[in-house]
């Protein structure tokens, strides 16, 4: 008796009382649906009514004690399963260091998802091409509950494709116009563009055959893969298992191609399962017992195909333009030469011999770093604050000392444009309030970074915020000349800084002061020594901290809020935070109160 009581109590906990009534209710409902569905359901309209009824029943009985406890027990099984799947979850981020190199390997979750998507597509195509009838009755008469679950999954997939096909193009159009158009007409262009896109998609769906969406999707995928393979972005992604493990890397192109192929396979599986043989260009009459699924499949196929085509077009154009604006490609200084027509060719030959580019046009060149007036007579003394064009003789131009002065003047011009452009960006970005995050990431030196971003994206829509990329305000290329971004890349690479984070309390004024210190350090050491925290002292009201971030590596505690590193894998970050008056010994030794020189001064 003593040994039997615990066993009896355990059996009563599982099979007796409220749990037994709960399981009885579930099994009774399932039996009723199975029998009634076979007897009375004749189309997917009836199936939809059954699904809606089941959802209402679930919403009304989920608060019953027995059902809640039974679901809690099932939740334990689910949590155990999720713990097993946690080994497949990964953390992913961009590698900005690149040294030392990390072994390359595909994430297991990516391989698993890709194989599952391809399997679903193959099964859907095989079932559609099967000579034996595989219509609604063939599935519903075998196991109605299984058929109902499959139909619910198919409808969920169609709804996801349709919503994605409607919202993704709108987001692409919004982000594209945000980076190219002025503010005043942009919203009118945005509404007109979205309306035109939906109108063209509707006309195509009403006039073209049902196999066109998959054909368009196949052509889009081919174009995307070819473009990614032909491009050569030096971008590496790092990943590691969330449950712990070693760092691995993957090329950005392979990751994007794998994701695209997975989405394509899922799209093919959903469309073929819903539309049937016509989606593959084969003869076949629509199933009269599946009107809802047929209509939903047609809508989802056209919206999804149009969204993929538009998204691919935007991606290809973006990669082409961004690669042309790559700040990592060095661009020689450009001098606009004027003055004596007989001396200009000789002056151009001298400057080109030391790595300059020259133009001699009647109007000043918009991209010129320096304007020079070539004189026949000896040049007057060159003053420190002399305005352009600088009056220079050919004989003086051949002196290395003057060439160094002109190079510093050109660099000062690029720095002034960089500071002026960042001021414009920050004035736009700080004109609105934010609910999430602590500040802005600043990285105009990378071709694949479009503009300023928050460390945590905002949840709500804002007219000045990009929906897909998270960019706040105009893109870098709209306000920063390419030469300024190239000089920024040169300076930050020499100082061994991968990324700047500007806290909200610092703003542009603090960033400008820090940039002046960076430029001064670069000039003092001729770009041959990286900057350390001890070199960033004397910034009153600002704490400038340099720290190396690595995915999965524990971070030391700090007395100021850190940004969210979700998109980073490895980087050396210059963090500009407000000075909160705490101890600085661990991060920044404050042994100087010297004011930095203004940014851009040669």
Q: Which two tokens stand for residue 269?
A: 């599986």
What is the C-alpha to C-alpha distance for residues 278 and 253, in angstroms, rounded to an integer? 34
**Residues sharing a CB contact under 8 Å with residue 216, sequence separation 6 or more, in sequence order:** 305, 306, 308, 309
pLDDT tens digit sequence for 251-293: 988 898 999 999 999 999 999 999 988 898 888 777 788 889 9
Q: Give the DSSP H/E element, type plus range, for residue 591.
A: none
pLDDT score, position 584:
45
Phi/psi at 335 (5° precision): -115, 135
Q: Which residue has the tokens 């004027």?
A: 338
pLDDT score, position 263:
92
pLDDT score, position 515:
94
What is the C-alpha to C-alpha distance for residues 415 and 444, in angstroms, rounded to an integer? 13
What is the C-alpha to C-alpha distance for residues 490 and 95, in angstroms, rounded to an integer? 19
At residue 239, the 3 state secondary structure works out as strand
Pairing mode of beta strands 90-95, 568-578: parallel
Provide the 8-state DSSP code for 465.
B
Phi/psi at 470 (5° precision): 75, 10
pLDDT score, position 181:
54
- Picking from 290, 266, 268, 270, the residue whose alpha carbon sits closest to that of residue 133 is 290
What is the average pLDDT score of the chain? 81
CA angle, residues 182, 183, 184, in degrees to nearest 5: 100
Q: Report DSSP letters for 381-409, one per residue.
A: P--TTPPSSEEEEHHHHTSHHHHHHHHHH
Asked if the bond preceding 100 is cis, omega within 30° of 0, the reply is yes
pLDDT score, position 377:
76
Could you say which residues of the chain have pLDDT below 70? 1-23, 59-88, 131-135, 179-185, 232-233, 243, 381-385, 459-466, 556-557, 559, 581-602
Beta bridge partners of 576: 502, 544
pLDDT score, position 303:
93
């Amino acid at each position: 008796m003593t040994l039997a009581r615990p066993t009896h109590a355990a059996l009563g906990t599982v099979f007796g009382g409220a749990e037994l009534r709960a399981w009885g209710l579930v099994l009774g409902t399932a039996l009723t649906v199975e029998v009634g569905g076979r007897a009375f359901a004749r189309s997917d309209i009836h199936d939809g009514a059954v699904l809606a009824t089941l959802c209402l029943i679930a919403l009304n009985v989920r608060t019953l004690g027995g059902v809640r406890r039974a679901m809690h027990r099932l939740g334990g099984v689910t949590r155990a399963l999720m713990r097993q799947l946690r080994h497949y979850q990964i953390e992913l981020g961009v590698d900005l260091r690149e040294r030392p190199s990390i072994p390359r390997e595909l994430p297991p979750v990516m391989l698993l998802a890709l194989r599952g998507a391809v399997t679903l597509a193959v099964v859907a195509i095989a079932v559609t091409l099967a000579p034996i009838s595989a219509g609604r009755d063939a599935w519903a008469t075998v196991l109605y509950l299984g058929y109902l679950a499959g139909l619910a999954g198919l409808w969920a997939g169609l709804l996801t494709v349709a919503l994605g096909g409607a919202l993704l193009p709108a987001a692409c159009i919004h982000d594209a116009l945000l980076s190219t158009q002025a503010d005043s007409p942009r919203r009118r262009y945005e509404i007109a563009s979205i309306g035109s896109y939906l109108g063209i998609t509707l006309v195509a769906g009403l006039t073209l055959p049902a196999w066109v969406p998959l054909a368009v999707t196949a052509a889009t995928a081919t174009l995307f893969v070819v473009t990614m393979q032909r491009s050569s972005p030096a971008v590496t992604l790092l990943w590691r298992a969330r449950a712990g493990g070693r760092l691995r890397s993957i090329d950005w192109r392979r990751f994007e191609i794998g994701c695209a192929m997975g989405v394509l396979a899922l799209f093919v599986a959903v469309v073929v399962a819903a539309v049937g043989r016509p989606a593959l260009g084969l003869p076949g009459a629509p199933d009269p017992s599946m009107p809802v699924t047929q209509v939903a499949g047609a809508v989802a196929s056209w919206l999804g195909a149009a969204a993929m085509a538009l998204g691919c077009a935007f991606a290809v154009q973006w990669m082409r333009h961004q690669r042309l604006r790559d700040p990592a490609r060095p661009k020689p200084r450009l001098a606009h030469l004027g003055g004596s027509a007989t001396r200009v060719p000789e002056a151009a030959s001298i400057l080109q011999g030391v790595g300059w580019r020259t133009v001699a046009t009647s109007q000043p060149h918009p991209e010129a770093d320096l304007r020079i007036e070539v004189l026949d007579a000896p040049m007057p003394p060159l003053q420190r604050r002399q305005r352009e064009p600088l009056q220079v003789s050919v004989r003086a131009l051949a002196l290395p000392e003057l060439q160094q002065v002109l190079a510093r003047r050109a660099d000062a011009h690029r720095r002034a444009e960089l500071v002026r452009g960042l001021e414009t960006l920050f004035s736009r970005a700080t004109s609105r309030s934010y609910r999430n995050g602590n500040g802005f990431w600043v990285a105009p030196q990378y071709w694949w970074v479009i503009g300023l971003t928050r460390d945590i994206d905002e949840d709500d829509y804002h007219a000045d915020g990009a929906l897909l990329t998270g960019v706040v305000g105009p893109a870098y290329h709209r306000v920063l000349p390419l030469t300024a971004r190239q000089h920024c890349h040169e300076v930050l690479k020499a100082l061994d800084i991968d990324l700047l984070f500007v806290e909200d309390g610092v703003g542009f004024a603090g960033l400008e002061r820090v940039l002046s210190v960076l430029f001064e350090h670069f000039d003092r050491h001729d770009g041959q020594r990286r900057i350390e925290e001890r070199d960033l002292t004397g910034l009153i009201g600002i704490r400038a901290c340099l720290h190396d971030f690595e995915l999965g590596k524990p971070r030391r505690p700090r007395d100021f809020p850190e940004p969210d590193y979700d998109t980073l894998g490895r980087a050396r970050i210059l963090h500009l935070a407000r000075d909160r008056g705490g101890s600085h010994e661990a991060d920044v030794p404050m042994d100087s109160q010297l004011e930095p020189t203004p940014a851009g001064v040669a």
